[in-house]
Structure 1
Amino acid sequence: MIRGDGAESEGETGAPFVERRTYRRRRLMDVARLLPVLGALLLLVPLMWPDPDPYPAPDSMSGMPLSRAMIYILVVWAGLILASFGFALAVRRWAEHWTEGGEPRRGGDAD
């Protein structure tokens, strides 16, 4: 069995393990695909909350007020922005590591 994803060396058949660089690149692509789906699911949660009853009975359960739903949406939105920012920093650091073949550079080294 030979894979065509470039993970094997020339003349080598498909092994159960892939090169570390290829594995990390695939995991980054997985996270990039998963973040928008996670965000959409989190933003759909308020649609499942019951509406508040304007005239609740003394022993009845009331729904979620609109103010709490808006706060939830704002927190999810800010969380998605922070997660995207963190992911972008990780991608930049890992990309520098992959292209330079070593540790990422720190500071202003002039070439």
Structure 2
Amino acid sequence: MGAVDDYLVGVEDEGDRAVLARVYRIAQELAPDAEQGTGYRMPALKHRGKVLISAIRAATHIGVYPFSAAAVAAVAGTVSGIDGAGASTGAIRFAPGTEIPDGLVRDLVLFRMAEIDG
């Protein structure tokens, strides 16, 4: 097991755990070489040694962190159309229980991978 697997085991709400696991699963499908690790003390997947994405259940929200303000900006239009979701400079936050669209996760991960590979 790794940092992501260990983290997911500890997420108490089954629905939120499933949402978080799906974020990581999509990222892993797009970046099969990604390894589990941490970034800014959060469980994360790393691509070529650099942090690719993190998704966590915080006290009041589910946070997705691509570690890139440009990646967040690239999907801001999609985020604004989701009830209970919002974006800041480096994060996208969803109300607990919110399904995170697969396409949004794909766009974030592909954007971030391009940054890392660029």
TM-score w.r.t. the length of structure 1 is 0.24
> Which of 1 and 2 has greater Rg?
1
Of Structure 1 and Structure 2, the greater strand share is in: 2
Instruction: From the two aligned structures, give the one with the greater helix fraction.
Output: 1
- TM-score w.r.t. structure 2 length? 0.23
- Greater relative contact order: 1 or 2 (C-alpha under 8 angstroms, separation 6 or more)? 2
